[in-house]
């Protein structure tokens, strides 16, 4: 056996999810896109309230579990295996 085991430096940025103003990257992009469509294309100023509510909910979920949206998107994209297939 080796007397001096080798160690590898692991940067913290590899372990932390990418957040945009406290919301995971993918839902942040989706919420911003929906907000842009509601406000700019459909001229619905009330859409800002919807976007704000979605943003607050997504931020709260991200504070509770930073990897929630990553796991949720992975489950949505996974192929469902049914009995008999």
Q: Quick: pLDDT tens for 25-81.
A: 999 999 999 999 999 998 888 989 999 999 999 999 999 999 999 999 888 888 777
Instruction: Specify which residues 24 forms β-bridges with.
Output: 19
Binned at pLDDT 50, 70 and 90, residue 3 comes out as confident
Can you give the pTM of this predicted structure?
0.75
DSSP label of 17: P
Please report where in the chains the tokens 């509510």 appear, as a residue: 53
Give the count of beta carbons closer than 10 Å to the beta carbon of residue 16: 9
What was the pLDDT predicted at 12?
81
What was the pLDDT predicted at 85?
52
What was the pLDDT predicted at 36?
92
Residue 62, token pair as written in the block: 């991200």
């Amino acid at each position: 056996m080796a007397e001096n085991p080798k160690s590898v430096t692991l940067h913290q940025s590899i372990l932390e999810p990418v957040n945009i103003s406290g919301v995971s990257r993918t839902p942040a992009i989706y919420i911003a896109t929906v907000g842009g469509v509601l406000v700019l294309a459909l001229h619905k100023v009330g859409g800002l309230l919807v976007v704000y509510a979605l943003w607050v909910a997504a931020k709260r979920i991200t504070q509770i579990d930073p990897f929630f949206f990553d796991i949720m998107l992975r489950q949505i994209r996974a192929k469902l295996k049914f009995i008999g297939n």
